[in-house]
Amino acid sequence: MSLYTTIHLHNVSAGREADYAQWFDGKHREDLARLRGYCSADRYEVTPQQIMPDIPQPWRFMSVYEFDYASPEIDLPALGPLLAEARDSGLTDDSAETERIHSYAMYSDWVPSPNHQQDKPFSGVSIILANFVAGREAEYHKWYNEVHGPEVTRVPGKVAMKRGRLSSVQIEPRRYCPGSDLVFCAQQTDDLLFTVKDFSARARGVSPSGVAFQERSSAGSFARTVHYFSKVSGTEFWPGGVAYDGDLSVYPADFARPAA
């Protein structure tokens, strides 16, 4: 079995926000529960606080779907018709062709930091549609696993990270994705602005905490986009559909890397 994450970046049609929420938490969840390998689904809304404010945020909402697949080439496309239902019924607005559906084979499940509060849900997430420099993939992963992942998830408010590679299996409509890799970071905070500011300060070596990030690896490409979202709805589940109470320690975080 291999962990897969699908992100659905989209806009809801004007005045249909309540309808979309009712559909997502009602019929859509019922349909998802019948899919093989389904683990969880969560909804997020883009935040005004962004680490790179000049990067466009063309989507107001993101839905995140987690699966544990034995045969992704067979099972992953089954999500497509469920997402098309919202589009076909006018719940989502794709008039500007901004909708994006990207699926990733994850390198691991969530890797928590000491900041993680086991009795609390995630308040939000950030995603990076990232790239590594050609020929330096191994160096890129080593830097993220041993240096950058741990230092990022120790920023106040940031609590866990997992990463993945863009899957060879994708859902229609297939549209341009600016990153080969997904960096998925979880937050638990009621002051996201402080988290974003301290993250930036640590990266520049000027945090009042005195903590500074190590020098950024040149194996990580600057061709990337960063997006912060707050959680709107969702229930946490481990692979296999078993609900859990937020205790990351009860499930292994060191899954074998799946095939890209």
When pLDDT is averaged across residues 47-56 and rounded to a whole number, the result is 93
- Whole-angstrom CA distances from 43 to 50, 115, 139, 208, 235 are 18, 23, 33, 34, 10
DSSP characters over 213-238: PPPPPTTB-S--EEEEEEEEEEE-EE
- Average predicted confidence (pLDDT) for the chain: 90
When pLDDT is averaged across residues 49-56 and rounded to a whole number, the result is 93
Measured CA to CA, the distance from residue 24 to residue 173 in angstroms comes to: 20
Which region holds residue 46: left if phi is over 0, alpha if psi is between -120 and 50, else beta? beta
Which region holds residue 94: left if phi is over 0, alpha if psi is between -120 and 50, else beta? alpha
Q: How far is CA 164 from the centre of its chain?
A: 10
Which region holds residue 157: left if phi is over 0, alpha if psi is between -120 and 50, else beta? left
Sign of the C-alpha dihedral computed for residues 42, 6, 132 and 173 taken in this order: negative
Residue with tokens 């341009």: 176
Q: Is the pLDDT of residue 249 over 50?
A: no
Give the pLDDT band (50/70/90) at residue 233. Answer: confident
Q: Tokens for 94? A: 């794709």
Work out the percent of the chain whose per-residue pLDDT is above 70: 89
- Nearest Cα neighbor of 10 from 128, 123, 126, 102 is 102
For residues 60 and 152, is the Cβ–Cβ distance under 8 A? no
Measured CA to CA, the distance from residue 139 to residue 226 in angstroms comes to: 21
For residues 76 and 36, is the Cβ–Cβ distance under 8 A? no
- Helix-strand-coil percent breakdown of the chain, rounded to 5? 25, 30, 45
Give the pLDDT band (50/70/90) at residue 254. Answer: very low
186-223 pLDDT tens trace: 999 999 999 999 999 999 999 999 999 999 999 999 99
When pLDDT is averaged across residues 107-111 and rounded to a whole number, the result is 96
Q: Is the link from the previous residue into 173 a cis peptide, with omega within 30 of 0?
A: yes
For residues 122 and 186, is the Cβ–Cβ distance under 8 A? yes
Q: What is the pLDDT of residue 8?
A: 98
Q: Which domains does the chain have, with CATH numbers?
A: 2-250 (3.30.70.100)
How far apart are the two ends of the chain, measured CA to CA in Å? 13
